[in-house]
Structure 1
Amino acid sequence: MADLIAKTPLDSMEAKTIGTVALVEVDLGVLTSIAPFAGQAKALGGAFKAAHGIAWPAPLRATGKAGARAIWFGKDTVMLAGPEPDAALNAYAAMTLQSDAWTSVTLTGADVEAVLARVVPVDVSAAHFKRGHTARTQIQHMNGSVTRIGADSFLLMVFRSMAGTLLHDLERAMESVASRG
């Protein structure tokens, strides 16, 4: 019998820095999509905060921090990243394990907004897209999620099958910005 070794979507790639921007693959832990049953949104919000110590995010927002983050992921859906969801939430919501479906990277650095401007059709400037803001949007031609997690740091997520394309597109954008000067 063969010994199988689990690999990350980007095969545990080394961090890449081009110009002032660094790209790092991140393991968000367990990923679970959570969607409230009809009429249960308010009760779910309270149970979610009690169970995980973080607020249920409003649309286009993320709450928590690395290790336990809740990311708005579309109408009435949140992606819990980090811990396994508390079983008590089963009374209020449908939960689906998503851990193997997504690849996640952080993009950090002084020119990160300029890099993202080349691949994301959303204004991610600090004046409009503050820490804790998130958007389900296109990343180049891929469906993805973009979340500001720091002053010059973003969390990007795309489907696992698009990991190589994400890496390629981000590297090209990073090289483009770095070549300016």
Structure 2
Amino acid sequence: MADLTRTPPFDGASLPLALGESRLEALTAGIILAIAPYPGHEDDAARALGAFPTPGDCLTLGGGRLVWAGRAVAFLFDPDDPSEEVVARRLAGLAAVTEQSDGWVGLRLSGADAPEVLARLVPLDLAGMPDGTSARSVLNHAPLLLVRRDGAFEMWSFRSMAGTILHEVEGAMRAVAARRGSRPGT
């Protein structure tokens, strides 16, 4: 029988990474639940949860965050009760609830160069993205959930894309640092 060992998504990567005026670090995913209200039950699901984000919104829900993650889908990060079953019971008949924790990875990009780094990779107007908002996009060719939080950018994507996203962001960080005349690692 195969001996499967769980490995962190950025295992072996040199994180955190600081280049120029940007810093990249891995995010600990914690619990991530996808919530998709059934057609016609959007308002009922919002009442059962206490809120439901409209496109681009990030809401605080107890100790967790409810983040708009696409058309009629929100991600509940680190809910007060991390049990998928408890949240699913609360939303029974109103929404589909699925555990996503093992399928997503996150990186946090901060620093003065962060918007310029991402401008090389993401086709969005990042200047028009205030704190507390989210957007679905791509990072070059990788699917992306981008969250602006505390002046930094959280980048969430499929776990299978972890190496690709890390490689792309690190390359853009190096290019921006070189353009500014910063030495790598400074």
TM-score bucket of the superposed structures, by smaller chain: 0.7 to 0.9
The question of 1:35 aligning with 2:36 is answered yes
Name the structure 1 match of 2:90.
88
Q: Is 1:37–1:92's contact at 8 Å kept on the other side of the alignment?
A: yes
**Alpha-carbon contact 1:30-1:99 (below 8 Å) kept:** yes
Q: Structure 1: give runs of 5+ residues left out of the alignment.
A: 50-54
**Hey, what does 2:100 align to over in structure 1?**
98
Determine the structure 1 residue equivalent to 2:183: none
Report if aligned partners of 1:63, 1:71 keep a CA contact under 8 Å in 2: yes
Structure 2 segments unaligned to the other structure (5+ residues): 181-186
Residue in 1 that maps onto 2:165: 166
| Equivalent runs, 1:5-154 vs 2, <5 Å | 5-11=5-11, 13=13, 14-49=15-50, 55-64=51-60, 68-83=64-79, 84=82, 85=84, 86=87, 87-125=89-127, 128-151=128-151, 153-154=152-153
Contact 1:134–1:147 (CA<8 Å) still a contact in 2? yes
Deviation at 1:61, TM superposition (A): 1.7
Q: Residues 12 and 25 of structure 1 are in contact (CA less than 8 Å); yes or no, is this contact kept in structure 2?
A: no
CA–CA separation in structure 2 for the residues paired with 1:180 and 1:98: 38
Highest Rg: 1 or 2? 2
Show the counterpart of 1:52.
Answer: none
Give the aligned partner of residue 184 of structure 2: none
C-alpha separation in 2, matches of 1:6 and 1:138: 27
C-alpha separation in 2, matches of 1:41 and 1:10 = 36
SS for the counterpart of 1:100 is helix
In the alignment, the residues of structure 1 paired with residue 52 and residue 30 of structure 2 have an alpha-carbon distance, to the nearest angstrom, of 18
The one-letter amino acid of 2:164's match is T
Secondary structure of 1:180's aligned partner: helix
For this pair of structures, how many residues does the alignment match?
172
- Coordinate RMSD, CA, aligned: 1.9
CA distance in 2, matches of 1:2, 1:162: 24
